[in-house]
């Protein structure tokens, strides 16, 4: 079964989608990510879709779902790297990717997550005990 790798980076989970998505792959990612948020106690999820040449309504919905699911598990989701043509198509299709934050690239996405979640200091002790 094909799966998209999920990397843990400090308090965040990092997903870089490098292959064309089909529906099963997207739903697997959704389930894996939510599970990973639970097991790692991650506070943020960063999804890089810069390699995706198309995002249709199903994939858009999965991305939105991931954001909503992570949210109720106390994690913020940022989607980065949306190609201009994909952005145009998504809006014309009628999908606004509600429920997820977006940023232009990975660097800005990381910054946004840091801002959303706040300084690490207060939770350092809890973090080190869980990992």
CB-CB contact of 52 with 19 (8 Å): no
What residues line the site for another protein (CB under 8 A)? 20, 22-24, 53-58, 61, 83-86, 88-89, 92-95
Kindly tell me which of 68 and 124 has the beta carbon lying closer to another protein: 68
Least CB distance from residue 83 to another protein, whole Å?
A: 8
What is the Cα–Cα distance from 128 to 28, expressed in whole angstroms? 29
Least CB distance from residue 92 to another protein, whole Å?
A: 5
Q: In what order do the strands lie in the sheet with 76-80?
A: 6-9, 12-16, 44-48, 76-80, 101-103
As separate numbers, helices (DSSP H) first and strands (DSSP E) second, the chain gives 5, 5
Least CB distance from residue 55 to another protein, whole Å?
A: 7
Least CB distance from residue 53 to another protein, whole Å?
A: 7
Kindly tell me which of 84 and 119 has the beta carbon lying closer to another protein: 84
- Token pair recorded at residue 42: 């991650």
Kindly tell me which of 28 and 114 has the beta carbon lying closer to another protein: 28
């Amino acid at each position: 079964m094909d799966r998209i790798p999920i990397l843990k980076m400090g308090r965040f989970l990092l997903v870089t989608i490098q292959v064309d998505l089909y529906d099963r792959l997207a739903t697997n990612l959704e389930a894996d990510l939510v599970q990973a948020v639970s097991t790692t106690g991650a506070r943020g999820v960063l999804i890089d879709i810069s390699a995706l040449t198309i995002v249709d309504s199903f994939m858009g919905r999965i991305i939105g779902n991931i954001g909503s699911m992570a949210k109720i598990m106390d994690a913020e989701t940022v989607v980065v790297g949306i190609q201009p043509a994909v952005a145009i198509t998504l809006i014309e299709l009628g999908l606004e990717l509600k429920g997820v934050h977006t940023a232009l690239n990975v660097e800005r996405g990381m910054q946004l997550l840091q801002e959303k979640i706040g300084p690490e200091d207060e939770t350092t002790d809890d973090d080190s005990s869980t990992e």
